[in-house]
Amino acid sequence: MSLESHGPAPCDDADGHLVTAGPLTPPPDSAGTVADAKALRHSVAEDVQGMILATLVASLGLAIFAKGGLMIGGMAGLAFLAHYAFGWNFGLVFVLVNLPFYWVAVRRMGWEFTLKTFAAVTACGVLTDLLPRWADFAHMSSLYSALVGGALAGLGILFYIRHRASLGGIGILAVYLQRTRGWSAGKVQMSFDTLLMGVAFFVLSPDKVMYSAIGAVVLSLVLMFNHRPGRYMGV
């Protein structure tokens, strides 16, 4: 298949537990002192290699989703729907639908995070489009696409998080609404993805939507088990 076709201060919940910035955005720096933060901060070289690896892994996951005819949550899911429904270029749509969220990112997460996220979204969108030209698959079952695509996309997002970047989109808005209006970031993102899956029934067959939901769950599980702000201290 071708596809032409520094951070905000942490906030606490009612029980005093740390509320992080959601699955697609990095946690605030949790180092105890200025010296700790300086010692643990990623170097430029570490950030560059981390962003490259994240792009390679995440774009491979998205390309596997595309080969299986599936979609995913967030702005990537919206770009997939536009690609399937109208034949629009996935990478271009992915970049464009993320543009409105960058002003929120600048206000809430800072310029470093915003620029890294812009680079991540652009590189991931372009590479997802190019991958089928370089390494096509003769066959891709929907179940394999959901499981492996979801796992790889989740790992890519995890790498981005650990280098203070993201794949943008609704996750940034969800954090903004949580901090300004007290809305749960997780519920905002879940509501958007649920609505997106509902719209997908008008574009994809029911079984493709079901497998897409499985892929989204796998992605979430990868982040849930591995994104522990108190465990990983590099920023």
Q: What is the pLDDT at residue 41?
A: 74
Residues 6+ apart with CB under 8 A from 126: 91
Tokens read off for 164? 């203070």
Quick one: which of 161, 193, 96 has its CA closest to 185? 193
Q: What is the pLDDT at residue 93?
A: 95
CA distance 82 to 48: 31
Q: What is the pLDDT at residue 104?
A: 86
Q: What is the pLDDT at residue 7?
A: 43
Alpha-carbon torsion 125, 129, 132, 134, what sign? negative
Ramachandran sector of residue 182 (left: φ over 0; alpha: ψ -120 to 50; beta: rest): left
Kind and range of the H or E run holding 33: none
Q: pLDDT in tens for each of the 235 residues of the chain?
A: 445 444 444 444 444 433 334 444 444 444 344 444 555 677 888 888 999 999 999 999 999 999 999 999 889 999 999 999 999 999 999 999 999 989 888 888 889 989 999 999 999 999 999 998 998 888 899 999 999 999 999 999 889 988 888 888 887 887 778 778 888 777 888 888 889 999 999 999 999 999 999 998 898 888 888 866 555 544 4
Please state the length of the chain: 235
Q: What is the pLDDT at residue 190?
A: 82
Q: What is the pLDDT at residue 139?
A: 86
Q: What is the pLDDT at residue 231?
A: 56
